[in-house]
Amino acid sequence: DIQMTQSPSSVTASVGDTVTITCRASQGVRGFLAWYQQKPGKAPNLLIHDASSLQSGVPSRFSGSGSGTDFTLTIRGLQTEDVATYYCQQAVSFPWTFGQGTKVEIK
């Protein structure tokens, strides 16, 4: 199975800051990488698919990049509503696997 490792596990930043979350795969996943946001007590929502494609309705302050084994989710201009846990997920082969999550909090 492909292991997905996210860093950091948590980040605390101020409103307006840029937050970067990285995701590393144990083997290449080409561009089959998605990012999800899960707000406290809620189900997860798709933010980014195919490493860099923004899901419809997602604010443009979210962006994704990377290919192969190293990927990044960037939040430019952090907002209070962005408090959540963020997960990466590879979809190059079953079993599709998620990273352990990165918790984003406001300072």
What is the contact surface with another protein in residues (CB under 8 A)?
A: 1, 32, 34, 36, 38, 43-44, 46, 49-50, 53, 55, 87, 89, 91-92, 94-101
- Tell me the two tokens of residue 75: 């939040």
Identity of the residue, 61 or 96, whose beta carbon is nearer to another protein in the bound complex: 96
Identity of the residue, 30 or 76, whose beta carbon is nearer to another protein in the bound complex: 30
Residues 43-58, buried b or exposed e (16+ Cβ, 10 A)? ebeebbbebbebeeeb
Identity of the residue, 21 or 49, whose beta carbon is nearer to another protein in the bound complex: 49
Task: Report, in Å, the least distance between residue 96 CB and another protein.
Answer: 4
3 state SS of 82: helix
Task: Report, in Å, the least distance between residue 9 CB and another protein.
Answer: 11
As a whole number of angstroms, the distance between CA 24 and CA 22 comes to 7
Q: From the centroid of its chain, how far is CA 32?
A: 13
